[in-house]
Structure 1
Amino acid sequence: MAKEKTRFFCKECGQESLKWMGRCPGCDAWNSLVEEKVAKASPAPRYGIQGQGAPGRSAPVHIDAAEAGESLRFSTGIQELDRVLGGGIVEGSLTLLAGDPGIGKSTLLLQVAEKIAAQGRTVLYISGEESIQQVKMRAHRLGVRDVPLYLLAETDIEAMSEAIVKTGPKWVVVDSIQTAYWATLGSAPGNVAQVRECAAHLLRIAKDLSIAITLVGHVTKEGSIAGPRVLEHMVDAVLYLEGERNYPYRVLRGVKNRFGSTNELGIFEMRGEGMAEVANPSAFFLAERTQGVAGSVVVPCLEGTRTVLVEIQALVTPTAFGQARRMATGLDYNRTVLLAAVLDKRVGLHLGQQDIYVNVAGGLKIMEPAADLGVVVAIASGWRNRSADPECVVFGEVGLTGEVRAVAHLEKRVKEAAKLGFKRCICPQQNRKYWKDAIDTVDMEVIGVNTVDEALVAALGS
């Protein structure tokens, strides 16, 4: 009996090696090579592009004759998801949706399946983790019924392929890719080789038959998608569903999208009847804001094409240890430490013996530099124990010399703040200078500042 061949594959980049090495020669990751069985020579079947040539073969198409445009997209029926995807699902695309266990991935996709099926498009939901009866129970709770939605409980990739070809759906959900296996490999589901080969098989089906397929992916304790890194390179779009268990909201982010922007953000609220869209996220995040408290500042942040008003909180207390602590939740830690150093050096607040804790209320993660000025004002407000104007919003990028630099889309930020009843806005002077004509269109006092000192005087009064 012939001995089975094995190879070592890197979990991070997919690099193949004949022997085990402590560090991957491809990506330099340590202890990332795992031993996998090599599949026997058995090429994956080709299904042929619909309407072109014979099955198993594809012919070149002139670029002017290739179909393109919005006709190849179809809406999911959920505006927040359409925004993140760039306008809807693209036919023949392969999308990966990842998130922590219990965050609501399966619930969201089942709701989307009902919306798409209600448009008259056939949907196939393949579950490798639950039985058909269990999926049916969730569907009843979500009110899904009387639509062309088919369920399949299967983990064998070949059986999945046969069901897809036989059913002929427009959209397929595979929940999850870590449970799928290819019998030819002979290894356990979820390992590097199985995830890579099963994803490649589904990718071939999506491209050949112009069927949109969405894969559900698990995440590791470090927050990255389980399986080889090459999985993220294979798919057309990678979406992350984020959220804290103690908060009812969920944030959907696009970290890769070949058909749209990766800066868009979708916000949902987890309810008993499923995931509900949040039409006004600014009002949602500011609903429990306490006014007149030191260390609280409202910042209009831009997420893709939408503006979201968030509350940045700062607590400054004398340290009880030899070295002062710095903690940031929802903000970049290194950036927060840098801004505290600017206050210490350029403004003279003497924060060396002060513990500083900064938090974005509601759990949202803010990465854009326009929040710098809000963080600076919040820390100064907490240190001086003096509350900022509750009807004022603050934004701007802060440099190392204490200057306030211009940011993009002043008009969007100001109009969103005015819509929620704010009366004053502190922004970079450079933005204020180039928006003179449009300021009269909103009922708001727009104050331009050049330095952090000027911003603190405008926000705190001294």
Structure 2
Amino acid sequence: MAKIKTIYVCQQCGYENPKWLGKCPECNSWNTMVEEQKSTSVTSSVITSAQNVTSEPKSIMVIKSGEKERFDTGISELNRVLGGGLVRGSLTLISGAPGIGKSTILLQTANSIASKYGKVLYVSGEESEEQIKIRGDRLSTINENLLIVSETDMEAIEIHINNIKPVFVIIDSIQTVFKPSVTSAPGSVSQVRECSNSIMRIGKSSNIPFFIVAHVTKQGELAGPRVLEHMVDTVLSFEGERTEEFRILRTMKNRFGTTSEIGVFEMCEEGLLAISNPSGVFLEETNFNQEGSVVIGIMEGSRPILVEIQALVTETKAPMPRRTAVGVDYSRVSLILAVLEKKLKIPFYNCDVYVNVVGGLNIEGTSGDLGLALALISSIKGNEIPLEKMLVFGEIGLTGEIRPVAFGERIVNEASKMGFKNIILPYRNTQKLKKQDINIIGVNTLKEAFSKVFNKR
């Protein structure tokens, strides 16, 4: 028979300890140890005999690849971040702040797949069927193959899946689903682990793709145990502000495609609309040749994106000047300020510095370093950028050199399509470019870029 014992489990990392601890020794989180009951069998373990083994090793040459077996979600930007579509039997985790649009894009996806491939089951643990129907009426996502059920019992959900045999299942959200055999509360480490294991078993055995919604913390990180991210095949993160119209869907993990891919959406009354040309959207309200404003080129996955970066530098009497960065890594801003002070002798120690990326995009990588540096110089000097319709990209090293960036030719081609006339880029990137109708200016150092842009020595 089974013996019940009490353990304390960290709700952040899943660390188990027989006694309560104020601080988890594994992830160093405070007040995350929660008491749970664990059943252990006191009988001898049963060894599976060879006759009961049903699996058989196969040559990799005869195994059929599931790479081409994908569902078209009907949303081009979602297909992009998934790597070309929804893979059969895959588990996709989508997270984001409340009200960001997770349920909206899932309902639109469910309606599109239901109209093309067959029955889709939408399991809601947070909303009633009537609430989802109201959203469906607003989004015009009404299809007889789209089945809605409000359920949180994992065993009941599995029964519904076996009876309906859907081609696609959505679980909204994993923190509300529970298994009666597990004594801990819904959303705990044990419940999330057991429910995720059941979902993975159903999906892999029945070749059904699952979308799982997860909550996030106030810091924007995925709530609950980190084991959930390791179990799923794809992790998507919704970014943006509820007060803004643009949303960014970013790939954090993808076993069936590239990571760091993004999809751009616009929130409107009809739901989330895919933006096929994000550069045009981000630059729609841009006024060129303004003080402290520079357009930079970056790569998001396989897509080149042009976006405006703004800098505001003001003198302050405070002993500790402020440094504020929105959309840019704060440590990267501090590094560029230090290089500017050292190599160009421009003092920022008595100035407040504010940096913002227009459109709500979070820039990762180093390709926007040179554009940020020129925007800071433009603001502190009070000079507008003299070059007409200028684009800038390049990485800045600690010695003031301008290093090349990957896929520079793609950024240049995107700038040509958008009508830019001048491009400041690393000199080594110019050696890989074909002849362009744009004025290409290659630079090797930060001082050289400063002199060529502002015509100063």
Tell me, yes or no, whether TM beats 0.5. Answer: yes
Paired residues, number: 443
For 1:287, which of 281, 284, 287 is the aligned residue?
A: 284
Structure 1 residue 213, shift from structure 2 partner: 0.8
Q: SS at 1:222's partner residue?
A: coil
2:55 equivalent to 1:59: yes
Consecutive unaligned residues of structure 2, counting only runs of 5 or more, are: 42-51
TM-score by length of structure 2 reads 0.93
Per the alignment, residue 14 of structure 1 pairs with 14
Identity, in percent, stands at 49
- What residue number does 1:398 align with? 396
Q: CA deviation at 1:39?
A: 5.0
Q: Output aligned runs, 1:379-418, within 5 Å.
A: 379-388=376-385, 389-418=387-416
- Code of the residue aligned with 1:112 in structure 2: it is T
Which position in structure 2 is the counterpart of 1:49? none
Q: Report the CA distance between 1:3 and its aligned residue.
A: 9.0
Aligned to 1:164: 161
**SS of match in other structure, 1:38:** strand
Q: CA deviation at 1:458?
A: 2.1
* Partner Cα separation in structure 1 for residue 64 and residue 179 of structure 2: 33
CA spacing shift, 1:94–1:39, aligned 2, 3 Å: farther
The 2-side partners of 1:177 and 1:347 are apart by 53
Aligned match of 2:419 in 417, 421, 425?
A: 421
State the partner residue of 1:446.
440
Q: Is the Cα contact below 8 Å between 2:93 and 2:212 reproduced in 1?
A: yes
Work out whether 1:307 is the aligned partner of 2:304: yes
Unaligned runs of 5+ in 1: 42-55
Q: State the secondary structure of the residue aligned to 1:422.
A: coil
2:34 is paired with a residue of what secondary structure?
strand
Distance verdict in 2 for CA 1:187–1:136, change over 3 Å: same
User: Which amino acid counterpart does residue 33 of structure 1 have in structure 2?
Assistant: M
Normalising by structure 1, we get a TM-score of 0.92
Aligned to 1:47: none
Name the residue aligned to 2:238: 241
Letter in 1 for 2:9: F
- Residues 340-373 of structure 1 show CA distances to partners (whole Å, capped at 9, x for unaligned) of 1111110011111111111111111001101000
Residue of 123, 126, 131 corresponding to 2:128: 131
Q: Is the 8 A contact 2:90 2:209 kept in 1?
A: yes
Counterpart residue identity of residue 410, structure 2: K
Residues 69, 233 of structure 1: alpha-carbon distance in 2 compared, 3 angstrom cutoff: closer
Q: Distance in 2 between matches of 1:371 and 1:147?
A: 48
- Which one of 73, 78, 101 corresponds to residue 75 of structure 2? 78
Displacement of 1:433 in angstroms is 2.5
Structure 1 stretch displaced more, 172-181 or 67-76 = 67-76
1:157 is matched by which residue type in structure 2? M
Quick one: which amino acid aligns to residue 456 of structure 1?
F
- Aligned to 2:132, the other structure's residue is in SS state helix
Q: Secondary structure, in 3 states, of the residue corresponding to 1:453?
A: helix
Partner of 1:457: 451
Q: Secondary structure at the match of 1:267?
A: strand
Distance verdict in 2 for CA 1:224–1:144, change over 3 Å: same
What amino acid is the match of 2:455? G
Alpha-carbon distance change, 69 to 195 in structure 1, aligned in 2, over 3 angstroms:
closer
Match of 2:190 in 1: 193
Distance 1:122 1:58 in 2: 30
Task: Tell whether 2:361 aligns with 1:364.
Answer: yes
